[in-house]
Chain A
């Protein structure tokens, strides 16, 4: 039977005839009985109009309605999240951005907004993860968003104990902003290796944090002029010279100023106050290595690795010293531990490649060279400066 032979049942035709009327009736005024699509379209239009007219509370209500009607409306989740974020309503904004991120192949700046909301709602681990996702996506967003997100990411890195990475990010911000009280405080906490947020450290440590932060900031923005930083450090030492990490911090500043002998004295002072201070011992070992005092360097590096076996820097330093002493199997073992603890640090890969090469383990050496090049080429933002290419000793060449 062809289509021309088809006859509609008598009931169908009148129904078709009334459909436009039906549609007209239903669309006359949006109500809970409207077809979902029509209701949604109306609400979306009203939401956008409310936002355009600066009626933010109405817009929030309408976008909320819109996303309930159509949970896959990503523009709606984005707008809702943005409006709530602008009003500091972070718990609600986090929900909206979470929906947006879940439903969007390339969430872009939404990762940063979500991270910021999670920071404000104390969901710190999730916030760290989302800032990481954001960085992998290339830091998308406006300049203001980048500044505020990088700053909060750095705060979370400090809280987690990743002080060097945090300072790296903060120093980049310092170069752009030239300071500000919040940046000073953040730099102070990271400089003094205090695994705290600005909101949660003891009030009696405020002045110490401020002085350290000012010194760190002055160093970050100076171009070879350190008198201002030295002035703050002098005050820091005067009042807080007996506090842990203060002399270590001063030692790192002196290292930065290439005053190695004075830096060494400060690291030793730190050890008088904190005998188990592994980073100070690593720095002393580094200075000994620089001056080819291998036996002393080795003792120090072994001590640091024993005190803090979960710190990749201690194994890295020990591995480097053993490599220089041509103790290749032992060096390899330490560098492999360092790699396991910090797989994305290019300098560890570089030294491991050299250790493998020295032992004729060419295949493994090639793999490390490839990893090194990959990490180096990425210039990943979290790599501390001394672990980037420029920080490698000039005398050392890339492994062949």
Chain B
């Protein structure tokens, strides 16, 4: 071997060995880290299981400095902090947790509830919706809280009808205690407040509204009427009370609903839903002129809402102005594609206009909405 060859051999060997040496050092370091992590995580889990919460929190924190994306650790630490009502830190950890475990419904649930506690309402609804879609695994205990917090947050952001849809579930399960009554009362009176934000001078009004809501849902119409009547007597000048009573009466004795809804419009001249309900009653009574005028006013006041367009479309159908009716109903469909009544209206309007293909499409949409998951 020449000197050059010898040098070359040494260089190549060195080049080949360098990574090996370094890798060996790295491997030893990694191994130590792994062992350390394993020991720490065992200690953390034991501390949690033995209810030594502060020790567990400290140990999980150490584990997460070694392995920041350890999903079980992120979850356990978040859960412990949530139980300690440290919602800010729990929230930050839960955001990391759901980014590594996006299918964990319970993670989204605790995140949404933590965000409720930190008053980040714009995020709560989406995160709790994800939780409900994904399910809660073994944590069935959390399901009721998720529905309740979703409902009260929906009310606060003025999505009253969606809130009431969720609250029906409580009532149907036989639950109508004070928290449910307050939540339902706020939604029914269309007051964008949380139960904790109820003004002291109107707590009873809201309770009466909620109690009436529960009674309606339980089929106790006499009891509901008693509650609603007392509410309108005791709080006659308050916005929302005559609308609520009028809406109830519209279903049982429509003629008596009309004066209540009109009374609401005197108190709340910009009340969109009172106009919509009145238009609905007038349509059923075949008074299409009144219906048309009220629905047109509702559309003007709330052009981005579906129900005014729907009622306006229905009134236009009654007036045999099919072209305009279809335009309005299509607007309603755009804004609320899952509302079956709009598709039914469109089916009739398209059929009357001889637009068979469009009518068939609406028929399919109705089938899909009525039987989700079926072939149609």
Of listed A31, A178, A207, residue having the most chain B CB within 10 A = A207
Is chain A's interface secondary structure helix, strand, loop, or mixed overall? helix
Q: Is the CB of A21 within 8 A of B12?
A: yes
Asked whether A56 lies within 8 Å of B4 as measured between CB atoms, the reply is no
Binary per-residue interface labels of chain B (1-24) against chain A in the complex, 1 for a CB within 8 Å, 0 otherwise: 001110110011001101100110
User: In the complex, which residues of chain A have a beta carbon less than 8 angstroms from the beta carbon of B199?
Assistant: 204, 207, 239
Whether the pair B239, A14 counts as a contact (CB closer than 8 A) is: no
Q: How large is the interface on B (under 10, 10 to 19, 20 to 34, 35 or more residues)?
A: 35 or more
Do B268 and A231 touch (CB < 8 A)? yes
Q: Is B157 an interface residue (CB 8 A)?
A: yes
Pick from A17, A199, A235: contact of B8, CB below 8 A. A17
Chain B residue at minimum C-beta to C-beta distance from A24: B15
- How many residues on chain A are close to B (CB under 8 Å)? 39
Within 8 A of A (CB), among B190-226: 191-194, 196-197, 199-201
B320 proximal to A (CB < 8 A):
no
By the criterion CB–CB under 8 Å, are A25 and B123 in contact?
Answer: no
Central interface residue in A182, A198, A203, by most chain B CB within 10 Å: A203
Contact of B4 among A13, A32, A89 (CB under 8 A): A13
Q: How far is the CA of A88 from the CA of B123 in the complex (A)?
A: 10
User: Nearest chain-A residue to B201 (Cβ)?
Assistant: A239
The answer to whether the Cβ of A1 comes within 8 Å of any Cβ in the partner chain is no
Question: Contacts A11-B7, A32-B23, A210-B192: A87 and B270 contacting too (C-beta < 8 A)?
Answer: no
Q: Are B15 and A25 in contact (CB under 8 A)?
A: yes
State whether the Cβ of B158 lies closer than 8 Å to any Cβ in chain A.
yes
Q: How far apart are B111's CB and chain A's nearest CB, in angstroms? A: 9
State whether the Cβ of A91 lies closer than 8 Å to any Cβ in chain B: yes
Tell me if A26 counts as interface (CB < 8 A to partner B). yes
What 1/0 flags go to A1-38 for Cβ under 8 Å of B?
Answer: 00000000011011101100110011000011100000
A361 / chain B contacts, CB cutoff of 8 Å: none
Q: Is A228 an interface residue (CB 8 A)?
A: yes
Contact yes or no, B193 A207, CB < 8 A: yes
Which of B157, B191, B200 is within 8 Å of A181, CB to CB? B157
Contacts of B239 in A (CB 8 A): 235
Instruction: Check B92 for interface membership: any CB of A closer than 8 A.
Output: yes
> Complex: how many Å from CA A31 to CA B18?
12
Q: Does B69 contact A (CB under 8 A)?
A: yes
Contact A56-B99, Cβ < 8 Å, known A182-B122, A207-B197: yes
Q: Is B26 an interface residue (CB 8 A)?
A: yes
Are the C-beta atoms of A198 and B7 separated by less than 8 Å?
Answer: no
- Bound-state CA distance A54–B289 (Å) is 55
Nearest neighbor of A178 in chain B, beta-carbon distance:
B304
In the bound assembly, the distance between CA atoms of A17 and B11 in angstroms comes to 10
Chain B residues lying within 8 Å of A14, measured Cβ to Cβ, are 4-5, 7-8, 11
CB A348 to nearest CB in B, in angstroms, measures 38
**How far apart sit A385 and B200, CA to CA, in the bound complex (Å)?**
38
What separation, in Å, do the CA atoms of A15 and B10 have in the docked complex? 10
Q: Does B100 contact A (CB under 8 A)?
A: yes
| Nearest-CB residue, chain A, relative to B10 | A14
Q: Using a CB–CB distance below 8 Å, which chain B residues touch chain A? A: 3-5, 7-8, 11-12, 15-16, 18-19, 22-23, 26, 69, 92, 95-96, 99-100, 118-123, 156-158, 191-194, 196-197, 199-201, 239, 268-270, 304
8 cross-chain CB contacts under 8 A: A17-B8, A18-B8, A31-B26, A32-B26, A56-B99, A57-B99, A87-B95, A239-B201
